[in-house]
Chain A
Amino acid sequence: MNEGQGYYDNPVVRRPVWTWEVPAYFWLGGMGAGAFVTASVAQTFGSAEDRRIAADGYYLAAGSLLPCAPLLIADLGRSDRFLHMLRIFKPLSPMNLGAWTLTGFTPLAVARAASHAADSGLLRGPLRVLAGLVPRRLTELTGSLLGLTLAGYSGVLLGATNVPLWAKSKLLGGVFMASALSSGSAAVTLQAARRGRAPEATLHRLAALESAASLGEMAIVAGYLAQSGRTARPLTTGRFAAPFWLGAVGAGSVLPLLLHRFTRRHHGRTLRSLSTAAALCTIAGSLALRWSIFEAGKDSSEDQAASFDLSKA
């Protein structure tokens, strides 16, 4: 007998077929983009010391972007046809826009990292000459624009579906952007704190930036949950509650904020340890955020009542 409002308990929409490669790519791509943007803003506005320290972020940016294309290709049903993504230019499709953005951004990030390596004497011989030819300012500017697109489109892509948890609130693109930038600035801190030579003032400034990013991230996540209402239940209760509340919110935003409050009063090794711990928490939380929202969205696609709510007149 048919008692509910729909057809038995059948889902209205199909369950997304994507697997772990997608949240892993969103996380790495977002962090790489965030690190590139942070390093580039420092190049334009920072002191000589800040510029030198923040430029190390280009290494992490390039390193985390390189696995992105292989992850995306692995997720395709027909990986041998990955080039079909670039068969047409169709920005209306976030998937197409993202493929083009990644294609353009990855070489820029690698080129900028190479030119930094040339500047700091890591490259020698002809490679150094070649890397020295990279136009730094132009690469930083175009790379930052492409990086912000890469960091921001992933949440829009998930939102541009009929999966209730992803589509109900319009803020998911902002949530993923905030997570990308907080983890990216944390990646820059991680590089800076690893070396004894980073001035403490730079670490304090990076901590201030990370705190601002964490606060912004908490605000937009709160807005996202408020707009989603009951639709958010597959994320906020049940099997994804722990990774979301403890991982994404707790370790990803609250804990780094508390650690950064401590760093203000500390110096030397303690400061570097606290900065490193906060940065690692932010980066791990960013992965937990992407993964829990991604996986909970699959369950949400089978939530018949949430689908009817999304399509209410």
Chain B
Amino acid sequence: MIDGYKRLMNLEEPPPPKKAKGFFTDTSLCIGCKACEVACKQWNQLPADGFAITGNSYDNTGHLGATTWRHVQFIEQAKANGRQEQRWLMMSDVCKHCANAACLEACPTGALVRTEFDTVYVQQDICNGCGFCVPACPFGVIDRVPKESTFEVGTAHKCTLCYDRLKDDMTPACAKSCPTASIQFGDVEELQQRARERLGELKARGESSARLYGMPEGKEAVEVGPLHAFFLLLDKPAAYNLPEVPRLPRKTMAERYGWSAAVGIGFAMVAALVFRGGRR
């Protein structure tokens, strides 16, 4: 009977864990070619988002969403860090595959799971489109497809870290297509080591504003944990629309329930007193 229930509810044993996989996106190498956006769309068969012109530099993608899993930002800065010349920062944004993922914790159906590669994945046959993961994500990554779309209508989508390719020992499409190795794919531990070395190299060359975002020791990892897709940035995180300390809703949930319970118990006690007063 238990087996029958598990079959009915699509409950399977997870595959044995493997080494954690992730992305190290080194924005100092990004040239803004958007090959990652195109490769992602092609491999994952994601529909186009239309031809909206945002007016924000070369960025006509706008933001990550249900059908956009890589997004190249173009940040135009004048006189940054005391320089006289203009500088142009580019960054290919993606799902961070957080160690403590807010979307995964919010998911009521168990559609969002952690894979054997320690990545965060939405099972499309389970998701019922409740939409709770959308505002839960502190990075604004995951989104639900509108009911009138032509693409897997009504469910939540985000970067899968090319789970299908990983199963076959292949590199995710975006990293494969990146011409400058700005997007590097591999074992998270090894990538973190590589990132530390690269940061030291840039600092030695005088790039004093370079920093890593999403490392275990960073303050951005305090709540959501290390990011399995992490970044080398050339400015403070806010310049790339990244939160200083991304919030994990679970951290404050007990306090929220506490206030709610206090009001409820208070009301019940007042009601008991009021009704008791009418009993003679």
Give chain A's interface residues, CB within 8 Å of chain B: 1-2, 5-8, 10-18, 37-38, 41-42, 44-47, 49-50, 54, 75-79, 81-82, 84-85, 87-88, 90, 92-96, 99, 144, 148, 151-153, 155-157, 159-163, 166-167, 170-174, 176-178, 181, 185, 201-202, 205, 208-209, 212-213, 216, 220, 301, 304, 307-308, 310-313
Contacts and interface: CB of A to CB of B under 8 A. Distances in A.
Contacts of A5: 238-239
B259 A173 contact: yes
Interface string B83-111: 00000000000000000001001111111
B278 interface: yes
Contacts of A45: 271-272, 275-276, 279
Top 9 A-B pairs, shortest CB-CB distance: A77-B129, A77-B154, A311-B243, A173-B260, A152-B260, A96-B108, A81-B128, A160-B249, A7-B241
B130 interface: yes
Contacts of B128: 76-79, 81-82, 84-85
B247 A311 contact: yes
Nearest to A182: B267
18 contacts: A2-B77, A12-B139, A15-B135, A16-B135, A18-B131, A45-B275, A46-B279, A77-B147, A85-B109, A87-B9, A87-B10, A88-B11, A93-B132, A153-B257, A160-B106, A174-B263, A185-B271, A308-B238
Contacts of A17: 131, 134, 143-144, 146
Interface of B: 9-11, 54, 56, 62-63, 65, 73, 75-78, 102, 105-111, 126-132, 134-147, 153-156, 219, 238-241, 243-247, 249-250, 252-253, 255-257, 259-268, 270-272, 274-280
Contact of A167 (B129, B130, B247): B247
Given A12-B139, A95-B130, A174-B262, 8 more contacts: A2-B239, A13-B140, A41-B275, A45-B279, A75-B131, A77-B144, A84-B111, A167-B247
Contacts of A2: 75-77, 239
B241 A85 contact: no
A18 B243 CA distance: 24
Given A2-B76, A311-B243, A162 B137 contact: yes
B243 A307 contact: yes
B145 A77 contact: yes
A41 B268 contact: yes
B223 to A, nearest CB: 9
A167 B144 CA distance: 21
A7 B59 CA distance: 11
A18 B129 CA distance: 10
Contacts of A50: 275, 278-279
Given A76-B128, A93-B107, A312 B245 contact: yes
Nearest to B131: A17
B90 to A, nearest CB: 12
B237 to A, nearest CB: 9
Q: For B65, B129, B239, B278, which residue has the most chain A Cβ atoms within 10 angstroms?
A: B278
Contacts of A81: 109, 126-129
A311 B138 CA distance: 9
B263 A42 contact: no
B99 to A, nearest CB: 16
Contacts of A37: 264, 267-268, 271
B73 A7 contact: yes
Contacts of B252: 159-160, 167, 170
A104 B140 CA distance: 33
Given A77-B155, A93-B105, A47 B279 contact: yes
A94 B249 CA distance: 11
Nearest to B272: A45
Contacts of B238: 5-6, 308
A313 B129 contact: no
A205 B274 CA distance: 6
Contact of B108 (A15, A90, A170, A213): A90
B7 to A, nearest CB: 12
Q: For A17, A153, A209, A213, which residue has the most chain B Cβ atoms within 10 angstroms?
A: A17
Nearest to A92: B105
Given A2-B77, A85-B109, A172-B256, A152 B131 contact: no
Given A45-B275, A95-B106, A311-B138, A152 B129 contact: no
A157 B136 CA distance: 10
Contacts of A159: 249, 252-253, 256
